Amino acid sequence: HHPATSILLSVSLSINVTMGFGNSGNKGEESKFLPFVFGGLAGMGASAATHPIDLLKVRMQLHGENKGEASAKRLGMFSTGFSIFKQEGPSGLYKGLSASLLRQATYTTTRFGLYDVIKDSLQTDNKPLPLYQKILCSMASGAGGAVVGTPSDVVMVRMQADGKLPLDQRRNYKNVFDGLKRITLEEGFFIMFKGCSPNVLRGLLMTAGQIASYDQAKEMMLKSGYFADNVTTHFGASLFAALVAATVTSPIDVVKTRIMSSKGVYSGMIDCFAKTLRGEGIGAFYKGYIPYTLRLGPHTILTFIFVEQLNHLYSSLTGKSVAKK
């Protein structure tokens, strides 16, 4: 099987296992596990649709890194895409897809599931949590997801960045599993967690920006009386969440990308931040911002719409509700 197919099959299997809890009489366990599964499936579907834009973002973020010049000629999104298409072919736009899918199967599965678990533990009398508690819940779940998802994230960034490197420096991972195996054997187990610190910080900010702002926006839209719990509301709330998340997390995403793709250039997150700021200026932290926003926008919208539709489908088929965002 293609690595992406293997990942999809494994997640499908996890759904069957989860459904099995309900059939065996553990009704409470079923609803606790479903947010994890639905979150992971939604993230994987959204990533498959937006992967080429994410690859453009990575290439643009790395542009000018080695030159260390603020005056390095900036590459636009279209010129970057055309260059990749010309030099690497159409398949070049999908480099790292298997790693991206595994990342969503770990990172998004964990953060969506943990958010519901933590939020439910704090709720009393089914009253909505105040915004600050939603932010704290999302930050905790984002940190957990970031740690779990870092190994596949490292492989994904390296696979996406490979085409930018000289031929003799390319890693040429066959797929995500080959990448994880080679990193462990050639560089050591803990290298798989390279960039974990900025990844956790990004996970905190990203999840707060996405899940907490989506939850709050949706709640306010429904309370206004002008909106119903439908796709239109889900789209509006997720669009707001995407804009918040993109603006807040772009600088740390640039740092994370550079650390994960580098070969011993940076000693850590602060060193990378300082060198980037000193060598290229503050604007470097928003390199690739347009493709980042264009990727994060549809990805966030699709993720939340997929989650909501999976929730509705499950409820219509079983007559039972799932904890929703």
Tokens 């911002």 map to which residue? Answer: 289
Query: Residue 268 — pLDDT band, cuts 50, 70, 90?
Result: confident
Do 138 and 110 form a contact (C-beta atoms < 8 A)? no
**Alpha-carbon gap, residue 203 to 199, rounded angstroms:** 6
Q: Whole-prediction pTM value?
A: 0.73
Q: pLDDT for 103-116, tens place per residue?
A: 999 999 999 999 98
For the segment 252-262, the average pLDDT, to the nearest whole number, is 88
For the segment 1-5, the average pLDDT, to the nearest whole number, is 48
The mean of the pLDDT values for the chain is 84
Q: What is the maximal distance between C-alpha atoms in the chain?
A: 65
Residue 41's φ and ψ, nearest 5 degrees, are: -60, -45
In this prediction, what percent of the chain has a pLDDT beyond 70? 86
**Alpha-carbon gap, residue 70 to 236, rounded angstroms:** 37
Query: Residue 325 — pLDDT band, cuts 50, 70, 90?
Result: low
Q: Which residue has the higher pLDDT, 260 or 274?
A: 274
Tell me, what's the pLDDT at 25?
Answer: 44
Q: pLDDT for 114-147, tens place per residue?
A: 998 999 889 887 788 899 999 999 999 999 999 9
Tell me, what's the pLDDT at 66?
Answer: 62
Q: Which residue has the higher pLDDT, 77 or 278?
A: 278
C-alpha distances in Å from residue 233, one per residue of 140, 215, 219, 229, 269 = 26, 11, 10, 6, 38
Residue 187's φ and ψ, nearest 5 degrees, are: -120, -20
Question: At 17, which amino acid appears?
Answer: V
